[in-house]
Structure 1
Amino acid sequence: MIRISCLLLLVFFKTEAQTSVLNVGDSLFVLGNYSKAIHAYKSLSNQPEVYDKLAKAYTAIGNYDDALKYYELGVESNPQNTLLKYDYAKLLSGTKKFKEAKSMFSSLIKTDSLNPNFHYELGLVLEKLNDSTAINAFKTTFSLDNTHQKAIYEIAKMHLQQREYAQVDEYVDKGLESYQNNVKLISLKAQNYFWSQNYHEAIAWFEKLLDLGEKSAFVYEKISLSYAQHFNYEKAIEYRLKALKFNPHDATALYVIGTYYLNTNDYENAEKFIDDALFLLDKPLDKEYMKLATVFNLQKKYKESIETLKKAIKEAPDNYFAHFQMAATLDSYYEDYDARIKVYENLLKKFSDKGMNPFIEDRISKLKQEKFIKEGEKKD
């Protein structure tokens, strides 16, 4: 009898000790001391009891290989634990093991087909696998929970990619009914108007994003482009300059801002921004140099324009319009009629097959007439 009592006491104390260690491990985990929690859990004799805890602790410290190992052991020892399988499936997805994640989420759906999030997570995995049925999983999520913001976003995003503007509006508006400040849906709304060329509405929704603190280069760029479509170049410049702060060496942005300044007749800034863009661009620059030459011509800086057009012609020797712009610039720069006439005659000779020959021939004729009149005036 005494021997039995001692055995019972030994079992009791051992159980109490194990419970105490488990409680210590749980406390350490809650406080974020994950490595010590792992050490505590591993000292327990009944390891299957803490497979899930070990998996979560390893996940918390970023050791995903060991986390996956313990999730797999946990699922094998307790296959009915849906929550464990769900966490395991999410980690499989998060570590880009998409095929395994697909299998696990499909298994969960068989267990509970009415759980909307199982379908949503499966949709994300299918999307990563470039599986076109991903949208079906998101739409199933929506049918089970028509307030599921993440599923609505994914559905609307896919319709936007297909330029199915009406469907985008339908889903986004439904999502905004239950969460009016969802910035991801508002962004889709703004983009939807932008790509459908309803720039007035696009501006309103991009402005709403800014009001909600979404001050990104993307938003500033798109609202700038929208204002430019309405010929409001002052606003277009204001917002494109804000976008430029995110990437001050964006040559395309510098060039676009320069063209906006040109449209407001601010030639000084147009020259500055286009010149800065040309310095950075690494591609054939004939069109950009021609634009800068136009800015110089509008300021009657013909010498600068001629030098710039030389660069344009060097970039693209067969660009007829660059040669034509050079001829027109030299026409304005030279005082000698013979030199001006010669410029156009050379152009005709070099590009005899171009459609602007009648215009050039007419200009040559007018210059000859002007020369004749001027010479007559001198004799008188």
Structure 2
Amino acid sequence: MRFRVIIVSVLLMSCMVNAQSIKDKADHFFATGNFSKSIETYKTLEVLDDVYDDIAKAYVAIGNYGEGLAYYKKAISVSPEDLLLQYQYAKLLSKTKNYKEAHKRFSDLIQSDSLNPNFHYELGVILEKLQDSTALERFKTTFQLDSTHQKAIFKIGKRHLVKRRFKEAHAIIDVGLESYSENIELISLKAQAYYHQEYYTHSVVWFNKLLDLGEKSEFIHEKLSLSYAQNSDYKDAIYHREEALKFNPQDASALFVLGNYYAALSDFEKAEDYYKKSLKLRDVPLSNEYQKLGLVLNKQRKYKEAIEALKKSKKRES
């Protein structure tokens, strides 16, 4: 009898060691990014209860959200009190636009732990997707619970900016930048706030911060160009408008604006060139554009061409 007990114990120990070895291999595959191989290895275990969440994460990592959801459900059925599992499952529901179920899950999580700021934030994101105005209250609650929560600060700051509450926008953005001075989204909000306030010298500083951090876009260069132009810094305005054009070379409006800037610098030849490029791209040229072209042609004493452009301007007006 004793011998049989020893044999059974040895077999059980061997099974446990083998299972741990398989799990270690699967964990290694996961850690090194070989997610499909990790799934395959996890599934060779005789008992999957302890690895359902690992399989779920691996499926999510390769973009198979349907299987990820299925395995999170299995993991939760084994460990229904595990809030981390509930949180990961709820986030995936939100990501896959299962907003109704995600809303319920995050509401339940808040009931379990009302002091967790991220539960409130994620619920706010879902409410925002559902176009529910109470989303802002969730973001504010997140901020009250964690004044360094960058994502919540951005959401609140953006809402203030949209509503043109610039003082409030700057105040909360500054709080966020105190804990993370290189937050691209907050720096962009601050630059936009100054721009809409028509504080162009300040907007130039903050849009340039984005460039310094490696951010380059048509939007940034366009707003910098407009800000410089408002301060009559036409050389800088031209530089950034030309940088913006690299993203959209067929932008007739941008070409026309460049013509204006060169005209302001009395570089009428360049102005003429950009006005003509702008007119060529427009399906229906406007009288204002022809009038501008006529003026810069006249400045260069190209009187015949100037008269023709002004005639076209008159025709468009009539």
TM-score (ref. length: structure 1): 0.79
Partner of 2:41: 40
Cα-to-partner distance string for 1:210-264 (whole Å, 9 max, x where unaligned): 2333232222211211121122222211221222222222211111111111111
Alignment partner, residue 182 of structure 2: 181
- Distance in 2 between the 1:60 and 1:162 partners? 38
Instruction: Say which is worse superposed, 210-219 or 52-61, in terms of deviation.
Output: 210-219
The letter of the residue matching 2:142 is T
Shift of the alpha carbon at 1:172? 0.9
Q: CA deviation at 1:310?
A: 4.5
* Counterparts of residues 276-291 of structure 1 (less than 5 Å): 276-291=277-292
Per the TM alignment, residue 95 of structure 1 is displaced from its structure 2 partner at its CA by 2.2
What residue is the counterpart of 2:125 in the other structure?
124
Equivalent position SS for 1:300: coil
What displacement does 1:65 show? 1.2
Secondary structure, aligned partner of 2:147: coil
- Taking the TM superposition and a 5 Å limit, the aligned residue runs for 1:195-344 are 195-313=196-314, 316=316, 319-320=317-318
Residue-by-residue CA offset, 1:140-171 (whole Å, 9 max, x unaligned): 01101111122111110111011111110110
CA-based RMSD: 1.8
Q: Deviations over 1:63-100 (max 9, x none)?
A: 11111111122122221111111111222222222222
* 1:15 positional shift: 2.6
Q: What's the CA shift for 1:313?
A: 4.9
**AA of the residue aligned to 1:195:** H
Report the equivalent of 1:59. Answer: 60
Pair 1:155–1:283, CA change in 2 (3 A): farther
Moved more, 176-185 or 148-157: 176-185
Structure 1 unaligned regions, length at least 5? 321-380
Superposed CA offset, 1:1-39 (max 9, x none): 134433333333223222221222112111212111111
* Residue 169 of structure 1: aligned partner: 170
Unaligned stretches of 5+ residues in structure 2? none
- 2:243 is aligned with what amino acid? K
Shift of 1:56: 0.6
Q: Counterparts of 2:82 and 2:146 in 1: how far apart (Å)? A: 24
Q: Which amino acid aligns with 1:258?
A: G
Give the drift of 1:138. 0.8
For residue 295 of structure 2, what is the amino acid of its counterpart?
T
Letter in 2 for 1:245: K
Q: 2:42, 2:51 within 8 Å by CA — same for their partners in 1?
A: yes
Which residue of the partner structure matches residue 30 of structure 2? 29
Q: Distance in 2 between matches of 1:77 and 1:238?
A: 62
Aligned to 2:88: 87
Instruction: Give the equivalent residue in structure 2 for 1:147.
Output: 148
Q: CA deviation at 1:173?
A: 1.4
Aligned residues: 317
Q: Which moved more, 1:40-49 or 1:210-219?
A: 210-219
Tell me the equivalent position of 1:352: none
Report the alpha carbon displacement of residue 191 of structure 1 after superposing the two structures with TM. 0.7
Stretch moving more, 150-159 or 304-313: 304-313
> Taking every aligned residue pair, what percent have the same amino acid on both sides?
52
Q: Which moved more, 1:298-307 or 1:36-45?
A: 298-307
Aligned mates of 1:49, 1:206 — CA distance in 2: 50
TM-score (ref. length: structure 2): 0.93
Distance between the aligned counterparts of 1:276 and 1:15, measured in 2? 76
For 1:301 and 1:253, the matched residues in 2 are separated by 24
- Report what 1:344 is aligned to: none
